[in-house]
């Protein structure tokens, strides 16, 4: 059975943590308000992703050794507390640049723990024959959070300012922690059977391909996650949250119909289409000049995300033993974070030189380059 009480509780917990994280899609506005430019946005937002990526091998190992629940609770605590530290920053960005980077790094570690632990947690209880469907539906919780977090965050920010925004951003993570306390752990670690290490698994052809595809996915996400708000501001577009609502709506809808299809025909056949659709959504932003076009671009990119994320995740986890799942999930999510960091920094500097249009062109092109990896991966669903 897929829709158990534990599945629903994890769904709600993930919705809360991603809502907390999603509110920070508006953080570039804090940076620019304090005198930062596009390169500062790239570096500061990228520091968050870099921390998530660099700590991933140890986080993944912790989840397989400490357990899913304890690891997730630690992550939730970090996610709930760190937004409060942003309240201490005032004045010109140059005056608190380094402390801000430190806070972003610790905040990024919290997200890495939450993200890796919860997806490993839920993978333990999804029936193998419904893996893509289960991951897709579960992942919809994050997509809904991606829409709700910026929406509520923007309302709070416009009415009450950044101090209230940071307090509001931390509360959902606290709710996630409380929800998770009622759950039983799904995996009891056994020291005598720790399984292969993170880097041993990464060296296998299947997981290396997944890591590279995830990196390209993360690179594309850096474009939308970090530079959509400045785009809307520069072109006088309506609420930034409209884009993320469209994005999340499309991703949820596509998962409702696409998960079972992928379980039947294989994730490899879905993968090329997912890459093309996601890239198309980013490339469309180059031409956006109105609210409806902004909404449509978000819808297209979200549809691609709704296919791409569960497809890559299911490809990574299918037929893998429980003692490896934390590390494999770490490879997948770490690839995304590495791409998100590289994308934030590289695109930020290129954006200073070539403008926002160049940012979305390169982000879309990176996703299209993944087609070179997608074809060889199609027939390797269970390969080591």
Domain CATH for 347: 1.20.1250.20
- Does residue 382 lie within any of the structural domains? no
Give how many domains the chain has, as a whole number: 1
Residue carrying the six token digits 């577009």: 237
**Closest to 351 (Cα-Cα) out of 46, 49, 93, 37:** 37
What domain range is 231 assigned to? 5-184+197-377
- Does residue 383 lie within any of the structural domains? no
How confident is the model at residue 380, as a pLDDT?
39
**Closest to 338 (Cα-Cα) out of 58, 54, 19, 108:** 54
pTM of the model: 0.76
Mean pLDDT calculated for residue range 106-131: 89
Q: How far is CA 169 from the centre of its chain?
A: 16
215 three-class SS = helix
> Does the pLDDT at position 201 exceed 60?
yes
- Does residue 351 lie within any of the structural domains? yes
Q: How far is CA 198 from the centre of its chain?
A: 20
In whole angstroms, what is the distance from residue 368 CA to residue 278 CA?
A: 9
pLDDT tens digit sequence for 259-286? 677 677 777 788 999 999 999 999 999 9
Query: Residue 219 corresponds to which tokens in the numbers above?
Result: 């690179």
> Does the pLDDT at position 45 exceed 90?
no
Residue 137 sits at φ, ψ, to 5 deg, of -65, -45
- Does residue 134 lie within any of the structural domains? yes
Sequence-separated (6 or more) residues with CB below 8 Å from residue 211? 202, 331, 332, 334, 335
384 three-class SS = coil
Residue 147 vs residue 246, higher pLDDT:
246
In whole angstroms, what is the distance from residue 216 CA to residue 199 CA?
A: 20
In whole angstroms, what is the distance from residue 346 CA to residue 222 CA?
A: 10
**Torsion angle (degrees, nearest 10) of CA 156, 159, 161, 167:** -30
Contact 297, 284 (CB under 8 A): yes
Query: Residue 39 corresponds to which tokens in the numbers above?
Result: 């390169």
How confident is the model at residue 43, as a pLDDT?
85
How confident is the model at residue 193, as a pLDDT?
59
- Does residue 10 lie within any of the structural domains? yes
From 67-76, 100-109, 166-175, 323-332, the region with the lowest mean pLDDT: 323-332
From 78-92, 112-126, 163-177, the region with the lowest mean pLDDT: 112-126
Percentage of the chain surpassing pLDDT 70?
A: 94
* Radius of gyration over every alpha carbon of the chain, rounded to an integer in angstroms: 19
């Amino acid at each position: 059975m897929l829709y158990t009480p534990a599945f629903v509780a994890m769904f709600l917990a993930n919705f809360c943590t991603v809502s907390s994280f999603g509110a920070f899609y508006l953080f570039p506005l804090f940076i620019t308000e304090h005198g930062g430019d596009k390169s500062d946005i790239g570096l500061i937002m990228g520091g968050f992703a870099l921390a998530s990526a660099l700590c991933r091998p140890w986080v993944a190992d912790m989840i397989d050794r400490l357990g899913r629940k304890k690891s997730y609770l630690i992550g939730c605590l970090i996610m709930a507390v760190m937004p409060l530290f942003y309240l201490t920053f005032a004045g010109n960005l140059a005056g608190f640049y380094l402390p801000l980077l430190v806070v972003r790094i610790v905040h990024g570690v919290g997200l890495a723990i939450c993200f890796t632990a919860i997806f490993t947690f839920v993978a333990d209880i999804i029936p193998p024959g419904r893996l893509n469907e289960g991951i897709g539906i579960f992942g919809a919780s994050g997509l809904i959070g991606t829409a709700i977090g910026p929406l509520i965050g923007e309302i709070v920010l416009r009415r009450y300012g950044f101090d209230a925004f940071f307090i509001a951003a931390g509360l959902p993570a606290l709710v996630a922690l409380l929800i998770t306390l009622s759950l039983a752990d799904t995996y009891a670690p056994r020291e005598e059977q720790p399984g292969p290490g993170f880097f041993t698994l990464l060296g296998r052809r299947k997981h290396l391909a997944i890591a590279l595809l995830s990196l390209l996915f993360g690179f594309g996400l850096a474009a939308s996650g970090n530079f959509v708000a400045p785009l809307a501001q520069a072109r006088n577009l309506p609420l930034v949250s409209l884009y993320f609502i469209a994005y999340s709506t499309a991703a949820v809808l596509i998962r409702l119909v696409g998960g079972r299809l992928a379980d039947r025909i294989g994730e490899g056949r879905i993968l090329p289409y997912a890459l093309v659709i996601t890239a198309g959504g980013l490339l469309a932003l180059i031409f956006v000049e109105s609210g409806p076009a902004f909404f449509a671009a978000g819808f297209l990119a979200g549809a691609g995300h709704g296919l791409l994320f569960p497809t890559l995740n299911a490809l990574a986890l299918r037929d893998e033993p429980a003692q490896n799942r934390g590390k494999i999930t770490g490879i997948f999510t770490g690839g995304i974070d590495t791409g998100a960091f590289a994308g934030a920094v590289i695109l930020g500097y290129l954006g200073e030189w070539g403008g926002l249009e160049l940012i979305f062109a390169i982000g879309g092109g990176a996703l299209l380059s993944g087609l070179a990896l997608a074809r060889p991966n199609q027939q390797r669903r269970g390969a080591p």
